């Protein structure tokens, strides 16, 4: 089955994540993209927010998780964000891209984690 997508791109959140000394001392920026795959047929027909994912709520959840939790690896943070993305039972697959701008001179490391409903 082919699913529709809801994407949230360019979420800027600040948090204390990193394995290197000093990375957790001052909040750093993280740029996050979330992609949800789900069936949006009902939302297309009804034009009702209740028939889709409320991306305002998802955005607030992503920002809160980045701000309130602290991990050595952004892969671990990605697992939490995936769990939040899959909390809505209509979401069949999700991916989260987390970039850490400014960490390396001339490069931006990023991690993409994906999950599908079992």
Predicted confidence at residue 68, as pLDDT, reads 97
The candidate with the shortest Cα–Cα distance to 93, out of 115, 77, 61, 111, is 115
Catalytic residue set: 100
Rg (CA), the chain: 15
pLDDT of residue 46 exceeding 80, the answer is yes
Order of strands across the sheet that contains 4-15: 4-15, 28-38, 91-99, 110-116
Q: pTM for this structure? A: 0.91
The candidate with the shortest Cα–Cα distance to 33, out of 107, 118, 89, 101, is 101
Predicted confidence at residue 118, as pLDDT, reads 66
Domains of the chain: 4-116 (3.30.1130.10)
Question: Considering the chain, what is the average pLDDT of its residues?
Answer: 93
Question: Each residue of 57-109: pLDDT tens digit?
Answer: 999 999 999 999 999 999 999 999 999 999 999 999 999 999 998 777 778 88
Predicted confidence at residue 6, as pLDDT, reads 96
């Amino acid at each position: 089955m082919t699913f529709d997508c809801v994407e949230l791109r360019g979420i800027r959140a600040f948090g204390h994540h990193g394995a290197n000394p000093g990375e957790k001392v001052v909040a750093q920026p993280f740029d996050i993209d979330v992609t949800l795959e789900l069936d949006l047929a009902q939302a297309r027909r009804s034009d009702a927010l209740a028939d889709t994912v409320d991306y305002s709520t998802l955005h607030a959840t992503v920002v809160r998780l980045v701000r309130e939790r602290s991990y050595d690896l952004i892969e671990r943070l990605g697992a939490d964000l995936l769990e939040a993305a899959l909390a809505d039972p209509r979401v069949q697959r999700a991916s989260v891209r987390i970039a850490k701008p400014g960490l390396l001179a001339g490069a931006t490391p990023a991690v993409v984690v994906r999950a599908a409903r079992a």
